[in-house]
Amino acid sequence: MPGDDPPSSDRRYTAALLIIGNEILSGRTKDANLPFLAETLNGWGIELVEARVVPDIEAEIVAAVNALRARVDYLFTTGGIGPTHDDITAASVARAFDVPLERHGEAVRRLQAHYGDPALLTEARLRMANVPQGGTLIDNPVSAAPGFQIGNVFVMAGVPKIMQAMLLGLEGRLTGGRPLLSRTVGAALPESQLAEDLARLQDRFPDIAIGSYPGFAGGRPSLSIVLRGRDQAPLDRAAEAVAEAMRRLGAEPVFFG
Amino acid sequence: MPGDDPPSSDRRYTAALLIIGNEILSGRTKDANLPFLAETLNGWGIELVEARVVPDIEAEIVAAVNALRARVDYLFTTGGIGPTHDDITAASVARAFDVPLERHGEAVRRLQAHYGDPALLTEARLRMANVPQGGTLIDNPVSAAPGFQIGNVFVMAGVPKIMQAMLLGLEGRLTGGRPLLSRTVGAALPESQLAEDLARLQDRFPDIAIGSYPGFAGGRPSLSIVLRGRDQAPLDRAAEAVAEAMRRLGAEPVFFG
């Protein structure tokens, strides 16, 4: 850790993701929000440290919201904020915070502007303007119906296009630390051949997280070593040491990033 | 619920998935195991009711294993059973069960048979034969290194091809109930137009879970209503009632399954 940075820059900022929806747990829909959230947050210096998927059941959502929001700087939820009976996220988050669910005036105005004709603003659509007391809106540039923030909890849509727009709109609203930097070194090696070198290098570079990800490329074993840390110089030294270990095993390392 | 089935067939069997790995939380790797597990288990009459993703940190794995295995009939884990220093699942599960981690004789024999030359069976590779005391092996027809079962916890590889082979090898080893049946009814409608009908139908068919999944098809709003239940007749009646509500709104329902 460098000594000349203000202490605050070494503070680690953490986040969790709560994915709400039976359709994910049934396997019908594949979640696409976790990778986008993880990568976006990483650019803001915030580390995703846990994710959970729970069904559309209020007690499950309340328990998960309360467990996770206490553990991290920021909790993000996706899913369950549409107009139908199975969209119970807003009510569940209100319950988790023990505050009433209220119709939010500005949210109603946005829905009115979006639908135009007042006859189209049905009671079902107005449900999307329900926000826990004290919540502030998260913009939805795609389809108007907003998400909301209450405390350190950010409630977003599950549809990836809308979730992504909502998240990117939060840029600047969240405090982060220094982004985690990463380098990847690949080689055509079975993972187990490099295992002892990696264990030794992990001991030598305790501030660098060294991950080993085996795969297959063209029928041959391939290996990606991912190194992550907050300082470029030790990260580069560790990546070079991994490459050197690969060379000693007769493989040609390839650097990615 | 039919009266002529033995009571045991109405017992609900539940499962959870614990995905272990920094590479999932960083967004680098997209999980592909959850949908496969969910669909396979559903065919066996077992319902996936929660999933969590945790990093390669022993305390986090131990806490999640113990929280989840107490809540469900079967807990499945994926990831972290390879030969490298960051593969700490077996040790963490041993810790969760408060039993020692032991070298499993049959697992060693399988690795010996796989690698042939004893010189290739390095200490790193032998780590893959470490199993918590009392654990039984889960076959790995792809690359020999087995998973294991201890109590109601099933520890599997993270590489999808291996995970899938391990899971399918468990067929017949798990007790399930009657599979959840599902029907899907689609129409070119915005979700909010059908919302009030759906709420009414959900009240009318309390044993059928009715989920509403909006999307876009060819630039127009599209809607899939997924109905799930254990009995065919009420499921069919509910699906027909959803279709009828779509027709009243001027849309042509399409049945999938």
Q: How many residues does chain A have?
A: 257
Give residue A3's pLDDT.
40
> A31 at the B interface (CB within 8 A)?
yes
Residue contact A198–B84, C-beta within 8 A: yes
Q: List, for residues A188-199, the tens digit of each pLDDT value.
A: 999 999 999 999
Residue contact B52–A55, C-beta within 8 A: no
Q: List, for residues A147-188, the tens digit of each pLDDT value.
A: 999 999 999 999 999 999 999 999 999 999 999 999 999 999
Q: Which residue in B37, B56, B83 is closest to A195 by CB distance?
A: B83
Instruction: Name the pairing type of β-strands A46-54 and B46-54.
Output: antiparallel
Task: Mutate one of B86, B89, B126, B210 to test the A interface: name it (highest A CB count within 10 A).
Answer: B86
Task: Mutate one of B123, B192, B204, B205 to test the A interface: name it (highest A CB count within 10 A).
Answer: B192
Report residue B65: phi and psi, to 5°: -60, -45
Pick out chain B residues at pLDDT < 50: 1-8
Q: What is the CA radius of gyration of chain A?
A: 22
- What's the mean per-residue pLDDT of chain B? 93
> B123 at the A interface (CB within 8 A)?
yes
| Cβ-proximal residues to B131 (8 Å cutoff; 6+ apart), any chain | B90, B101, B102, B103, B104, B107, B137, B148, B150
The ipTM value here is: 0.91
- What's the mean per-residue pLDDT of chain A? 93
Q: How confident is the model at residue A5 (pLDDT cuts 50, 70, 90)?
A: very low
> B210 to chain A: nearest residue by CA?
A86
Give the CA angle between residues B236, B237, B240 to the nearest 5°.
85
Q: List, for residues A105-118, the tens digit of each pLDDT value.
A: 999 999 999 999 88
Residue A17: closest CA among A46, A59, A57 = A46
Residue B83: closest CA among A241, A194, A153 = A194
CATH of domain A181-256: 3.30.70.260
Distance to chain B for A91, nearest Cα, Å: 16
Distance to chain A for B153, nearest Cα, Å: 18
Distance to chain A for B7, nearest Cα, Å: 25
Distance to chain B for A202, nearest Cα, Å: 8
> B83 at the A interface (CB within 8 A)?
yes
Q: What is the 3-state secondary structure (H, E, C) of chain B?
A: CCCCCCHHHHCCEEEEEEEECHHHHCCCCCCCHHHHHHHHHHHCCEEEEEEEEECCCHHHHHHHHHHHHCCCCEEEEECCCCCCCCCCHHHHHHHHHCCCEEECHHHHHHHHHHHCCHHHCCHHHHHHHEEECCCEEECCCCCCCCEEEECCEEEECCCHHHHHHHHHCCCCCCCCCCCCEEEEEEECCCHHHHHHHHHHHHHHCCCCEEEEEEEEECCEEEEEEEEEECCHHHHHHHHHHHHHHHHHCCCCCEEEC
Say whether pLDDT at A6 is over 60.
no
Say whether pLDDT at A7 is over 80.
no
Give residue B3's pLDDT.
39
Residue with more model confidence, A10 or A117: A117
Report residue A252: phi and psi, to 5°: -100, 110
| Cβ-proximal residues to A80 (8 Å cutoff; 6+ apart), any chain | A20, A21, A56, A61, A86, A87, A88, A89, A90, A92, A158
Looking at chain A, the whole-number percentage of residues with pLDDT higher than 90 is 87
What gap in Å lies between CA B87 and CA A212, rounded to an integer? 9
> B228 at the A interface (CB within 8 A)?
yes
What gap in Å lies between CA B3 and CA B6, rounded to an integer? 8
Q: List, for residues A31-40, the tens digit of each pLDDT value.
A: 999 999 999 9
In order, the DSSP letters of chain A are: --SSS-GGGG--EEEEEEEE-HHHHTTSS---HHHHHHHHHHHTTEEEEEEEEE-S-HHHHHHHHHHHHTTSSEEEEES--SSSTT--HHHHHHHHHT--EEE-HHHHHHHHHHH-SGGG--HHHHGGGEEETT-EEE--TTTS--EEEETTEEEE-SSHHHHHHHHHTTTTTS---SPPEEEEEEESS-HHHHHHHHHHHHHH-TTSEEEEEEEEETTEEEEEEEEEES-HHHHHHHHHHHHHHHHHTT---EEE-
Tokens matching residue A31: 């979640």
Q: Are B50 and A25 in contact (CB under 8 A)?
A: yes
Tell me how far the alpha carbon of residue B5 is from its chain's centroid.
27
Q: If you average pLDDT over residues A235-250, what whole number do you get? A: 97
Give residue B4's pLDDT.
43
Q: Which residue in B38, B51, B191 is closest to A82 by CB distance?
A: B191
Q: How many residues does chain B have?
A: 257
Residue contact A213–B23, C-beta within 8 A: yes
Give residue A9's pLDDT.
59
> A124 at the B interface (CB within 8 A)?
yes
Give domain limits for chain A. 7-168, 181-256
> B20 to chain A: nearest residue by CA?
A50
A128 contacts in chain B (CB < 8 Å)? 192
> B42 at the A interface (CB within 8 A)?
yes
Tokens matching residue A245: 């270990």
Residue contact B31–A34, C-beta within 8 A: yes
Residue contact A202–B34, C-beta within 8 A: no
Give residue B157's pLDDT.
97
B86 contacts in chain A (CB < 8 Å)? 198, 202, 210-212
> A36 at the B interface (CB within 8 A)?
yes
Q: Which residue in B30, B123, B195 is closest to A83 by CB distance?
A: B195
A60 contacts in chain B (CB < 8 Å)? 50
Q: Are B50 and A52 in contact (CB under 8 A)?
A: yes
Residue contact B35–A23, C-beta within 8 A: no
Pick the CATH number of B7-168 from 3.40.50.20, 1.10.540.10, 3.40.980.10, 3.50.50.100: 3.40.980.10
Interface list for B 194-223 with A (CB within 8 A): 194-196, 198-199, 202, 209-215
Tell me how far the alpha carbon of residue B158 is from its chain's centroid.
13
Give residue B119's pLDDT.
87
Q: Which whole-number Å values give the CA distances from B211 to A128, A197, A227, B44, B72, in the listed order? A: 17, 51, 42, 22, 23
What gap in Å lies between CA A225 and CA A191, rounded to an integer? 9
Give residue B66's pLDDT.
98
Give the CA angle between residues B80, A62, A169 to the nearest 5°.
80
Two domains, one topology: B7-168 and B181-256: no
